[in-house]
Chain A
Amino acid sequence: GDSVTQTEGLVTLTEGLPVMLNCTYQTIYSNPFLFWYVHYLNESPRLLLKSSTDNKRTEHQGFHATLHKSSSSFHLQKSSAQLSDSALYYCALSAYNNAGAKLTFGGGTRLTVRP
């Protein structure tokens, strides 16, 4: 079945430094949809960004990610971390583009940004 791997469970950064959270996936489907969800403390998880286009950069709220099918990766990046970026980040995969296709999530990466 599908799987998503986030290699870092915990990432601690100093404010202003770049952010990179790793995400790789496995699926038999040739056109997967990849997502990053962010879960802030005391809030509901919500979509940060998504992509299904190979080698195209997707950006939202200062974060960006590029789907690379050749390496099955969808790493999340930001040029300069802010204190408010501290949260739990999940990478997810879906094989289909329709409502009612389940998302397979990775184990999550907890990002802590310190002053």
Chain B
Amino acid sequence: NAGVIQTPRHKVTGKGQEATLWCEPISGHSAVFWYRQTIVQGLEFLTYFRNQAPIDDSGMPKERFSAQMPNQSHSTLKIQSTQPQDSAVYLCASSLVGSQNTLYFGAGTRLSVL
């Protein structure tokens, strides 16, 4: 079991460029979550999928952020026209039915917008 895999580990973009972050959940896990980690906000919920269907995207900045889960083995978080305030560690997590909501996190993608 390789755990939740996130790529790339680090991404540097210029202001206004697009960034796509990838997540491969643990095989068999039915839910996938995206969180953003900053010193100021802590772990901030963005969005999640259950059985590939989008369930709650209430934490997503609407205009530039989007997330997809085209199949059960990966999810993407796309940020268009990146801004310096988007700089953060983006964490993906998955969970398994019957695990009492235990989230298994990936190592995260550190996004730096210059």
Contacts and interface: CB of A to CB of B under 8 A. Distances in A.
Contact of B45 (A46, A99, A105, A107): A105
Contacts of A50: 100-102
Interface string B49-60: 011000110000
Main secondary structure of the interface of B (DSSP, over half): loop
Given A99-B31, A100-B55, A44 B105 contact: yes
Nearest to B100: A97
Contacts of B91: 44-45
Contact of A94 (B3, B41, B101, B104): B101
A99 B50 contact: yes
B101 A99 contact: yes
Interface of B: 3-4, 29-31, 33, 35, 40-45, 48, 50-51, 55-56, 91, 95-108
Given A47-B103, A107-B40, 8 more contacts: A6-B42, A43-B107, A44-B3, A46-B105, A99-B96, A100-B31, A102-B48, A103-B103
Interface of A: 6, 33, 35, 37, 43-47, 50, 52, 90, 92, 94, 96-108
